[in-house]
Amino acid sequence: MDKKLTKRALIRLAETALSGGKLAVEDVEPFIQYKFPASSRTSKIMLKLAAGISFFFASVLVIFPEAGEKLIEVLPGLFLLPERIAKALDFIWSLVGKPVKKQHLMYHLPNIIIYAFGAAGVRQLWRRLHKNNWKDHVEEAQEKLGHMIENGVGQFKFPIGFSLLFVGDGDQIAKSLVMDEPTVGVTISSSHQQYTPFWGKYTANDGLEGFDRVLNRYNTHDAGEYVLFPVLDEHLFLPGNDDCDLPPHRVDMGVRKIRDFEKANDWGPKRIIIVGDKEQTSRFVTSSSNRVIESGCDTVSLKTIAAAYKNVTILDPTELTLKKIIDIADGKQILFRASDKGAEKYGKTFYQRLSLLGYKASKQQSLVVGYDITDLETEHQLISGQQVDYLPVILSRDVFDELEKNHLSDEPYIFVPRLVKKSLQRLVAEQ
């Protein structure tokens, strides 16, 4: 953010930060990175002149003390300072260096010259004596704001329609979303996500009071949506039931907290976007000593959450990826290729999820979809070139970057994080 700050703006922002107010997000980076300019050219010349004069007196008093003593002898008696004034000067010198501990004015002249002629010296002395200097307030506010950001308790005001992003550690989609547009919203997490200063600390142990506290640090009433990321980056596509940051029942509790917060503030329900797999479930059962009582079973999924609460949208990376595969297949038969372990882990689920979308082949040709336990197997299959019409599905940024250099220029591919991020950006942009 390239924004120049005037003295008036710096004072205003410092007062806001020191009083615990909310800083507009576009002001935060320019304010916290602002540094007062060094001394002017004239000040530097005066400092050099003062240093030269001061060195002369220091030489007379220290290097050639005999000459200094003779000079003191010939000077009029009025150069001998009263004891109280000498002590007062020593107090001043102790603030910026060492006291002189001499009563004769000659010994005080070097300090007097430095702080009389040197603009930087005068400023340093003045600021030590007067802690209400406006520049001190700015630096104090910068330091306070830095600590607040580090601890996740910064208070910010975002543009109308911003997003509240609830993320776990290492959520690459959320990270990429924020790095594309730093003021898209506030990141709420249990630890500092280093890619943004706009974050709030919240853990499950903070409870309802902590949840309310973190949301009250922002102009949440102006937010456009809440975005939840219970998904794990390494399991964006075809995840197992436990491959998530938060299981569905915990997501349900998060949505409930949001709606309770809105109700307490007399707001209508804002949109909630959940980036996660619709088919993952949390199952609760009632059992006797020898059997499970079927009537006492209860299943929670992102689908049941969307049905239970108003204005909830599920962005399912698996469904999104399969729709992209169907679009590329364009009626061809879709075949799944992986290592034997990968086929065992994903093959059946792949076709089950594909059938839910109602895809039916209308052509004799085939499209081979490559996806595996890691992207290294998919990378090998692509580079080996033995498969015709091979469509790699990739999750890893490192593997994708390596393949993009030499192997993906003319071939179709799906890089799932990019696909999900673009869909999320479209959703967030909707009004």
What tens digit of pLDDT does each residue of 216-227 get?
Answer: 999 999 999 999
Could you read off the pLDDT of 349-407 as tens digits, one per residue? 999 999 999 999 999 999 999 999 999 998 898 888 777 889 999 999 888 888 887 77
Q: Do 196 and 137 reside in the same domain of the chain? A: no
Q: Do 342 and 365 reside in the same domain of the chain? A: yes
Q: What's the Cα-to-Cα distance from 381 to each of 156, 372, 377, 385, rounded to whole Å?
A: 48, 10, 6, 7
- Segment 22-27 mean pLDDT: 95
DSSP state of 313: E
- Segment 26-54 mean pLDDT: 69
* The predicted structure's pLDDT at residue 106: 64
In a domain, 105, yes or no: yes
Q: Do 222 and 195 reside in the same domain of the chain? A: yes
Q: Do 347 and 294 reside in the same domain of the chain? A: no
What phi-psi label fits residue 27: left (phi over 0), alpha (psi between -120 and 50 degrees) or beta? alpha
What average pLDDT is seen over the chain?
Answer: 85
Q: Do 127 and 10 reside in the same domain of the chain? A: yes
* The predicted structure's pLDDT at residue 216: 95
In a domain, 28, yes or no: no
In a domain, 264, yes or no: yes
Decide which of 120, 149, 178 is a domain's last residue: 149
In a domain, 355, yes or no: yes
pLDDT at residue 38 tops 60: yes
CA distance 233 to 375: 13
- Segment 42-57 mean pLDDT: 55
In a domain, 29, yes or no: no
- Segment 60-67 mean pLDDT: 57
In a domain, 143, yes or no: yes
Q: CATH number of the domain at 277, please.
A: 3.40.50
Q: Do 284 and 204 reside in the same domain of the chain? A: yes
Q: Do 183 and 306 reside in the same domain of the chain? A: yes
* The predicted structure's pLDDT at residue 187: 96
Could you read off the pLDDT of 109-156 as tens digits, one per residue? 666 665 555 444 545 555 555 555 788 889 899 999 999 999 999 999
Q: Do 207 and 338 reside in the same domain of the chain? A: no
User: In the chain, helix, strand, coil percent, each to 5?
Assistant: 55, 15, 30
Structure tokens at 112: 């007097």
Q: What domain count does the chain have?
A: 3
pLDDT at residue 93 tops 50: yes
Q: Do 311 and 165 reside in the same domain of the chain? A: yes
Q: Do 309 and 183 reside in the same domain of the chain? A: yes
Q: Do 71 and 142 reside in the same domain of the chain? A: yes
Decide which of 99, 126, 149 is a domain's last residue: 149
CA distance 199 to 158: 12
In a domain, 245, yes or no: yes
* The predicted structure's pLDDT at residue 54: 54
CA distance 283 to 252: 13
* The predicted structure's pLDDT at residue 1: 46
In a domain, 210, yes or no: yes
pLDDT band at 85 (very low <50, low <70, confident <90, very high): confident
Decide which of 134, 149, 164 is a domain's last residue: 149
CB-based contact 298:283 (threshold 8 Å): yes
* The predicted structure's pLDDT at residue 293: 83
Q: Do 77 and 224 reside in the same domain of the chain? A: no
* The predicted structure's pLDDT at residue 135: 83
Range of the domain at 389: 319-425
